[in-house]
Amino acid sequence: MSVFTRTDVTAVKFYKNYVLAGIGSTVNLFHKTSTKLLQRLSGLYGQKIYGFVPSQYGDKIFVFGGKQFTVVSLSDPEQSNEGTDLLCRLFEPVVCDDWLHSAVWINKDVIALLTAHNVVQKWDIKAGTLTSQHASKDNSILYSGLLLKLEEDVLVMAGTVFSEVIIHKCGAERPLHHLKGHKGVIFSISCEPSRNIIVTTSDDRSVRIWGPDNEPTHPGTTVEYWKDTNIVCKHEVYGHLARVMRSCITNDLIISVGEDSAICYWDYEGKLLKKALTHQNGCIWSVDSDNTTLVTGGGDCGVILHPLTIATDYSYNEIIDVGVASPKKVIFTARKNLLVMDENVLVYYDFISKVKSTHKLNHDSTYKLLSISSCKQLIAIADMTGKLDVFLEKCKDDAFILNIIDTKLQLGKILSMHWAGNRHLVFCSDDGNVSVLASNNATVEIVARFVLPFCKERWLTASAIDSGSKYFVLGDRCGNIHIFVKEQKDPVKSFSKVHGRYGPTSINIVNNDIITTGRDGTIMYFTIQGDGIKRLSAKDLAFEWVEKFLDKDQNLVCGFQERVFVVYNIKDNCKVIETPCGGGHRSWDAVRYFEKVNEKYEECIKFVYLKDAAINITTFQLSKITSTNLVHGSHAKEINCLKALKLNDDAVYISGGEDTTLRISSVDAVNFKDEVAFKHLSSIRTLKTHAIDDNRFLIMSAGGRAQICIKDVQILKENGTIRVKSEELVDHFIRGTDKERKGNQTWRNCSIDFDPEMRIMDLDLLKYKDDFVIFAGCSDSHLRVFSYKNKSKKLELINESKYHNTCILKTKIITILNKTTLITCTTRGDVTMWDISDVINCNFEPFFSTKTNKSGINALATANLPENQLLVATGGDDNSIHIILLEIPDQDYLGSMIMLNSWQSSNFHSSQITGLCLVGNYMLSSSIDQRVTLLSWSVKERNIVCEFVSQTSTDVADVQGMDLLEFNGDSITVCVFGKGMEVINVPTNQE
C-alpha cells in the first residue's frame, strides 16, 4: 500500500473549484482556493495518469494513462457527510490493447479513445465493453492526439512521428487536412474551434498557431466547418530552449510549457508576452487553465498555481519628475516616500500629496555618501571631508524630513559610511580606521574605534550591530567579514574572503544569527554562540548580484542578474520578480509594503531606479504575479541516495541526486517540503548519517568530482514548524584544484592531479575514539580511508588500497565476532571482506573474497546469524538476487571464513536490482522495473531457503534504491527512490 508518492506530475486539470493532479497512478484532489489536499485516490495500477476528461453530462471524470482507463465520480461537498470521500472510483481500471493518447465523451455512457496506432475505440462505460473501433488509413505511430466531439461523430487530430498533424473524421476514408511544417515529432495538440485556433508543439522547440485562412461559415462542432475551411499556419514562434511538451488556450492567451522548465505566454498573434522559469529547472509535463489561473505539473514533483495576470498585468510603471535635472541618488523612506539627491540638493517627495520639499546641502565636496538606517527614518549624508548631515522623517501627520544634525567630523578622508542598526553610524577613513558614532543631542560622539586588517581595498561595504550592542560585524571591500567588540581595536574574529572581490552587500543580525549577502551569488549564515561566532553554511542563488533582504523573515532577497532586477523567494526556490532596468550600477532602491486595494490588503514591492537621468518607478502587486504551491517541488532529476530519520513523531528525509543538491525535507500528514538544500559541484551518489544526539546529526555526502562534504545538522521544531540549522564542516576534493587541497602552498609547491572525473560511489563511516574514519569506494578502483578530526574539522587521507581493479560500487561496515568488518562490492560482481578493527595500524588487506553476481552489484544487505555465521545478500545488473551463507570456524581468525551455501534467482525482476533490505526473516528487493518484491528466507541445516511472498509496484521510475523506515511484525515500511520517491507499506501477513 502506497503511503505517499512524490514523482512526475503528468496530468493536471481544473474541475469546478478543484484541481485534479495525476501523480504516478494516484488521483490527487485539491481545493483551488484553500490549496488544501482533500483526497488521494488510487486511480490506475502501475501506470502513470496522463489525462483527465470531465463529462459534460454529469459529475464523472474519465481518467487514463498508459493502456488503462477508469472513471471517477466527484460528489458535491454540500450534499456529502463530513469526513466522507469526495472522489470515488466507479470500476477497476480497464486494460486496453494499445497506449491511449486522448479521450472525449460521446454521451453520458459512451466515450471515444484515441490509441497510439491511430485507432478510435468507443467504449460503453456502463457495460464496460468495447462497442466499436475505427482504424485510420494512415497507420502511423502517434506521439500525441486530440479527439473533438462533433454533432454527428468524432474529429481526430493525430500528431504523427513524421512531423505532421492529420485531421480526419472518425471512420472516414480520406483525411480532411494535413498540417505540415514542424521539423520534429508532434508532442501536443490543443484546439478551440470557437476561437478558430489550433496550437501544436514539437521537439523542434517551436509552437505553431494554426487557423482557417478565411472566416468559417459553419460552427466548429460540425463536419462542414472542417470540410469547407483551409487551415494554414498563421504563426510559428520560438521561445523555448528545449522540447515543447504541452500547450493550452485561454480566452486571451496561448500558453506553452517545455522541457526547459519555462512557461511562455503568447497572445493570439504569436507575440511573447511573458516567459517564466519554474519547477526548479525540471521538465514541465502537464498544464491546464480555467481562464483566470494556470496550473502546471513538473518533473520536480511539484504542482503550482500561476495567476494569468502575470502575462497581462505584471507591473505598473511610471516616471517621476521632482525637478532635479541630474539626480545622483534615490532611496525610499519609512513612509514609502522618495528621497532624491543631486550634487547640492536633497529632495523629499510625498507620493500621496504629490508635494516635494527641497533641502540645500552645504558641502565642500561634490562626492557625497548617502545611507539610511534600518528603520528607514534616519538619513545620513556625508562628504569625503567630514561634513555630516542627518535628517529625520516624521512618522505621523504630515510627511516631511527635518535636519537634526549638521556637523563637521575630524576623521580624515572618509571612504565609506554605513548605518549599523538605527543609532550607530560607521565611518571608514584612511588606512582602515573605523569610527563608530552615536548621536548626542544635536551632535555626535565617537563610541568605538577599530582598525581593519590590511587588504588591497581597505574600506567597508556593509555593517551591523547585534541587539546587545556587543558585536560590530563589518564587511570590507575584499570580501572579508570582521567581528569587533567595543573595547578592542583589532577584530576578535575574521572570516577571510567570505564574499567576492566586491565585498558583502548587506549584513543582518536576527536573534543570534548573522546573515550576509554578496555580489558572488551567495547568502552566508553565521551564528553567535557564547563568546564566539561560527560560520554555518552558504546558499547559492541563481543570480550573481545579491543585494539585500526585503522582509523581516529573510525570505525575499533582491539583486541583479546582469541588467535585470530580481526578487527571489528563498523558501520556494523561485524568482518572484524579473524586470529589466539596466543593472545595479546605477542608484536604485526597493521596498516591500502592504497596501489596501479593493477592501483587501495586498502585498506590494516598489522598485525605483535611475535611467537616462529619469526617475523610474515600478510597482508590483504580488498576488497578481506570485505562484502558489499545491505540492512543493523537490529534486528535478533522479534521487541517487536517501536516508529517512524519525524525530519524535516527525519523519525527515535526507536525499541527494543528479541535480547536485542535498536536501533535507519534512513530512506531515499532508505536505512534503524541502526545508534546506545544499549544493555539490556534481551529482551526489551516496550519503551517510551519524546521530550526535536526539536532533543533531553529522551528514556525510559524496559523489562526482571526487567531492566529500560533511555537515553538522540540527533539526528543531518550533511552534509546529521544523527548522534546520546546519554548519558546513568539510568540503573536500580528492582531486582537482580546490583550495582545501592546496592549502597555504604556493602554486610552485602544489602538485595537482587533473582528473576530476573520478566519482565516489559509496561511503561508510566508523566512530574511532573521538573522531571518525570514512571508507570511500571510488570509480577509479581505489578504496580510500579518511580520518575526520572533530576538533580541527579536517579530513585527511590515511590509507588507500588498490586491491580492486575495477569500480567499487558498495561499501558497508558490519560487526562480526566483535570485530569491525568492511564489505566492498564491485562492477565485476566481487564481494570482499576487510578487517578494520584497528584501521589506523592495520595492513589493510582483505581476508575473504568471492564472486556472486555476473556483473555490477548495486544493492547489499547483511544479517548476523548464530554459530559464527553471516548472511550476505546482493543484487545487481544481472537482474538476479544472490544470497551467500558464510561461517568463521576459528573465532580468533577472520581469515578462516568459508562459504557454506549460496542461493540465487533471477525470476523476480526483469531489470537491474537496485535495493535490498533484510528485516527479520524477510527480504525486500527493488528494481528499475518498478517492482518491490517481498521474500521470506531461512537457514535450515546450513542451506539457504528463500521463498516468494508477494510483489507490488511503485510509481517511481528509474528506481535507484530503497531505505527501510519501519518494521512492526505485520508490515514493513520502506521508501523507494529514483525519479521521485514513494513510501510503501508491505504487509508480511498475506492471508
Backbone dihedral angles phi then psi of residue 719, each to the nearest 5 degrees: 55, 40
Question: Within the chain, what is the greatest distance between any pair of CA atoms?
Answer: 101
Residues 649-671 have a mean pLDDT of 88
Task: Among 3.50.50.60, 3.90.79.10, 3.40.50.970, 2.130.10.10, name the CATH number for the domain at 634-741+753-802.
Answer: 2.130.10.10
User: By the 8 A CB rule, do 816 and 870 touch?
Assistant: yes
pLDDT given for residue 840 in this prediction = 76
pLDDT tens digits, 265-276: 999 999 999 999
pLDDT given for residue 950 in this prediction = 95
The Cα 289–Cα 271 span in angstroms is 19
Query: Hey, where are the domains in the chain?
Result: 8-308, 555-624, 634-741+753-802
pLDDT band at 669 (very low <50, low <70, confident <90, very high): low
Nearest to 302 by CA among 30, 697, 694: 30
3-class state of residue 466 by DSSP: coil
Residues 25-47 have a mean pLDDT of 94
Cell numbers describing residue 630: 499545491
Q: b or e along 568-578 (b: 16 or more beta carbons within 10 Å of the residue's beta carbon)?
A: bebebbbbbbb
The Cα 497–Cα 474 span in angstroms is 13
3-class state of residue 114 by DSSP: strand
- Whether residue 714 is predicted with pLDDT greater than 80 in this model: the reply is yes
Which residue intervals of 812-943 are DSSP H helices? none
pLDDT cut 90: percent of the chain above it:
79
Average pLDDT, the chain: 92
739, containing H or E segment: helix 739-742
User: By the 8 A CB rule, do 833 and 821 touch?
Assistant: yes
Cell numbers describing residue 555: 525570505
129-135: strand order across its sheet: 100-105, 110-115, 119-124, 129-135
User: By the 8 A CB rule, do 498 and 456 touch?
Assistant: no
Residues 184-213 have a mean pLDDT of 95
Whether 634-741+753-802 and 8-308 are alike in CATH topology: the answer is: yes
Residues 141-160 have a mean pLDDT of 94
311, containing H or E segment: helix 309-312
Which distant-in-sequence residues (6+ apart) come within 8 Å of 94 by Cβ? 68, 69, 70, 123, 128
Angle at 506 between CA 451 and CA 603, to 5 degrees: 155
pLDDT tens digits, 454-479: 998 999 999 999 988 889 999 999 99
| pTM score of the predicted model | 0.92
The Cα 567–Cα 590 span in angstroms is 10
- Whether residue 740 is predicted with pLDDT greater than 50 in this model: the reply is no
Report the topology of domain 8-308: Methylamine Dehydrogenase; Chain H (2.130.10)
Side-chain half-sphere CA neighbours of 961 within 13 A: 23
- Whether residue 139 is predicted with pLDDT greater than 80 in this model: the reply is no
The Cα 434–Cα 427 span in angstroms is 6
- Whether residue 227 is predicted with pLDDT greater than 80 in this model: the reply is yes
The Cα 96–Cα 115 span in angstroms is 9
Instruction: Specify the residue for cell string 484553500.
Output: 34
